[in-house]
Structure 1
Amino acid sequence: MAISRFSDLLEEARRQPEPQRLLFVFTRAELPDHPTEAQRRRFERGEGGVLTPVLCVDKAPEELSDMAGLLTESRRTGVDWDIVFVGALAGHGHEAPSDEQVEAQLERMVESLKMGSVEAFLALDRQGEAVRLG
């Protein structure tokens, strides 16, 4: 199944035989350190910039109903974001992934994103639509 929106992601995660944890790393677009004038102009038009991780959370698919619910929950943190990257971690048998496994995977996701490695993750905008970066 091609995942092109948040609802597709939830549907696919719920279909998996093993318990799933969805891992979310919320990022905010910012100007890079020491931007050129061209980079600054592009950023002011809403283009370019670097995506900086600002918030992480994990959820079971059953804890989520739709993108509006995720948006509402994220607003309660007071942290602004532009793009959310999503990964998944499967449990084994009927066991959900442990808190330690989830935390370690979230840390790996953040490090990957800081290094610019975004290909392994689904990127969604605030409307829950998949976006292509690069």
Structure 2
Amino acid sequence: MISMFSDLLEMSGEQPDPQRLLFLFAAADPTNKSAKREDKKGTIEPTMVVDKLPSEVPSFEALIKEADSINKKWDFVFIASLSGQNKQPPSSEDAEPFLDQMTDDVMTGKNIRRYVVFDRKENPIELLAS
């Protein structure tokens, strides 16, 4: 499990072909507010998506600042990477169907284990579908 956003940025730069990072920001709606932290249950709703080249994201703090300037109603960021071809990174248009798939995955709870997830404080999060 990736434990730091900087690890993810570093790994994206080590891939044979350039990468495009896909971000889905989501808000949590806990259903058992009194449960212990490690046993929280609830729903997650996507609030916004964006794709960026790794060079466009200097740090987690910069990502948070930009996201908050658009919409502060989010608790988690789901991250995936899309690989380019022939030494060319994928375009934003190439990323669009994958961002749609991320949105569907988060809304249905399917395949969410394939994403790296951080909370606002850069803590890695493991989410389980119920």
Q: Shorter-normalised TM-score: what interval?
A: 0.7 to 0.9
> Aligned-pair distance for 1:16?
1.3
Q: Deviations over 1:71-118 (max 9, x none)?
A: 100111033111111011000012221333200100011101111021
Structure 2: 5+ residue runs without aligned partners?
Answer: none
2:113 to 119, 123, 127: 119
TM-score (normalizing by structure 1)? 0.84
User: Deviation at 1:67?
Assistant: 0.8
* Aligned 8 A contact 1:22 1:60 in 2: yes
Task: Indicate how the Cα distance of structure 1 residues 41 and 127 shifts in structure 2: closer, same or farther if over 3 A, else same.
Answer: closer
Q: Counterpart of 1:131?
A: 125
Q: Is the 2:20–2:82 contact (alpha carbons within 8 Å) kept by the matching residues of 1?
A: yes
Q: Quote the Cα distance in structure 2 between the aligned partners of 1:101 and 1:9.
A: 21
Amino acid at match of 2:12: A
- Off by >4 Å, runs of 4+ in structure 1: none
Structure number with larger C-alpha Rg: 1
Q: How many residues align?
A: 125
Residue 76 of structure 2: which of 77, 83, 98 is its match? 83
Task: Tell me if structure 2 keeps the 8 A contact 1:54–1:79.
Answer: no
Which of 60, 67, 92 aligns to 1:67? It is: 60
- Quick one: which amino acid aligns to residue 13 of structure 2? R
- Give the Cα–Cα distance (whole angstroms) in 2 for the partners of residues 127 and 29 of structure 1: 15
Q: CA RMSD in A?
A: 2.0
Q: TM-score, normalised by structure 2?
A: 0.86
Measure, in 1, the Cα distance between the counterparts of 2:2 and 2:29: 27
Contact 2:51 2:92 in 1 (8 A): no
Percentage of matched positions with identical amino acids = 35
1:33-69 Cα offsets, whole Å, 9 max, x none, are xx6xxx3654xxx932111100100111011111110
Point out where structure 1 has 5 or more consecutive residues left out of the alignment. none
